[in-house]
Structure 1
Amino acid sequence: MSAAVQRFMQLHQQSQPFILVNVWDAASLMLAQQQGAVAVATSSAALAWSLGYADGSALPATELIAAVQRLLRVSTVPLSIDIEQGYSDDPRQVAQLVKQLAQAGIAGINLEDGRDKPEQLAEKITACRQLLAGIPLFINARTDVYLSQLCNADAAVDECITRLKRYQQAGADGAFIPGLTDLAAVTQLHRQLTLPINLMGWPADATHNTLNEAGVKRISSGPALFLQCYNYYQQACRSFLQIEQLEEQALTYAGLNQLFSQPH
């Protein structure tokens, strides 16, 4: 097992949840590392947007692989890659992509069900495990029950439990439930699941202790950091086009260039 995969798996076993910063290019990754990120992951939306594609499986696999290679070149912490639904309906093709990424040196993936039937994701996870044939990789199974409101709110917890148990049997290592912000519901899931739970963003009034009690082991930012960065960029562009002086920032040309000049 590589040191990156081993470290990534260990992070999911800590007593406190760890923060997984989502990145989309070498610059965002290196700045995340500089600020102390213990692991990083791509946001599928942020990565697609940064390369000129819409989110939602529009990113060609060749573009994904090239982007991952650039990220791995500068990464000193475990890197997980969001591959949406695997960019294919064919479990064999999904497994081939996952094996290629694992051999490149990533520590984990996110693989989601979206609006597909749960058996489709289970088949993809099974195919991945079979083709990996012992190559270690953290597979985070994402269900969009909450994010896409796939069922009535009263049935959402039970639907998540059913799906995630199926994904675990197929070989998943983690459970990702974006859109879930109710800690009481998270606690219900935790009582029925043995997988470490991953949420997107901080639930209201949550603390490290309350999250840990609810079984949360990982908090990721999703596209939020990308949106915050580009919201500022949009405002700065507007100011510059109106011939306004841009404000001085703590991050300078010299500082960023020095960061990239360091050996990787």
Structure 2
Amino acid sequence: MEFKNLHYQDTPLVIANVWDVPSAKTAESLNFQAIGTSSSAIATLLGYQDGEEIEFSELEYIIKRIKSSTKLPLSVDLESGYSRNPIEIAQHIKKLSNLGVVGINIEDSIVEPARTLLNAEKFSQVISKITEILQKENIKVFLNVRTDTFLLGHPNSVEETKKRIKLYENAGANGIFIPCIEQETDIKEIVNFTNLPINVMCMPNLPNFDTLNKLGVKRISMGNFLFDKMYNQLKDITEEIINKKSFKPIF
């Protein structure tokens, strides 16, 4: 099934967020339908802060290694595009497409040095230009546009999200990603506002998958939470080894 069609199934597409070859292979062994990278996890893995500190060439190399290890459809977290220039962003997407990537996430905030929302109208123009270039070059990549209204705690998060969805939809977005949305009423209102598939992310108070399905959510992501949990466990086990002066905690 084509990656785009996975967003229109009877049940939501649950994406395993990966950061390297072993995590991608684990997702494939568990029969996930698709995988997506976590920019935060990859940045941490390479010793960077999240927010485009990593060079695009470094990201490209990791994507090449991940894609060579799995047959699963792969979507890449492109942050804000690793450029503010839509022509350069489109070239980045083209390079990823040439590696076999079938989708990208692009977000409407940047970290300079604190994360802030970009102007919605200007960002929608960037999306429009990107989609125009991709269509001209016949590059078929699912454009999942992330809005950080909830992540950044916008005071009118629902209304601001709806405003941005309409702009991004008109600019050619294929899907909308809203990290940090949790309340059922907010999710329902936004799902009912657009025909685009809505993507939510792992959060402490996010409803379970059955409830999200009933609310009309079409894509569920894990973000960097699994990565963080794994490394917290690494710390705990290593500390136990030191305290017990034994390798028994591993086994």
Q: TM-score, normalised by structure 1?
A: 0.86
Which residue in 1 is equivalent to 2:5? Answer: 10
Give 1:237's aligned amino acid.
Answer: T
Shift of 1:190: 1.5
Tell me, which stretches of 5 or more residues in structure 2 are unaligned? Answer: 110-116
Query: Whole-Å Cα distance in 2 between the matches of residues 205 and 111 of structure 1?
Result: 22
Shift of 1:126: 1.8
Query: Whole-Å Cα distance in 1 between the matches of residues 235 and 250 of structure 2?
Result: 16
Which residue in 1 is equivalent to 2:132? Answer: 130
Give 1:161's aligned amino acid.
Answer: K
Matched ranges for 1:1-264 at <5 A: 7-114=2-109, 115-133=117-135, 134-149=138-153, 151-152=154-155, 155-201=156-202, 204=205, 206-242=207-243, 243-248=245-250
Contact 2:174/2:196, CA 8 A, preserved across alignment? yes
Q: CA RMSD in A?
A: 1.7
Structure-2 change in CA distance of 1:207 and 1:224 (3 Å): closer
Shift of 1:127: 2.4
Contact 1:202/1:219, CA 8 A, preserved across alignment? no
Structure-2 change in CA distance of 1:205 and 1:178 (3 Å): closer
Query: Whole-Å Cα distance in 2 between the matches of residues 120 and 237 of structure 1?
Result: 48
Query: Whole-Å Cα distance in 2 between the matches of residues 136 and 205 of structure 1?
Result: 31
Give 2:151's aligned amino acid.
Answer: L
Give 1:101's aligned amino acid.
Answer: L
Which residue in 1 is equivalent to 2:114? Answer: none
Shift of 1:121: 2.6
Query: Whole-Å Cα distance in 2 between the matches of residues 121 and 66 of structure 1?
Result: 27
Provide the secondary structure at the position in 2 that maps to 1:236.
helix
Structure-2 change in CA distance of 1:165 and 1:232 (3 Å): same
Shift of 1:164: 1.0
Tell me, which stretches of 5 or more residues in structure 1 are unaligned? Answer: 1-5, 250-264
Q: TM-score, normalised by structure 2?
A: 0.90
Shift of 1:158: 1.2
Number of aligned positions between the proteins: 241
Give 2:168's aligned amino acid.
Answer: Y
Contact 2:180/2:203, CA 8 A, preserved across alignment? no
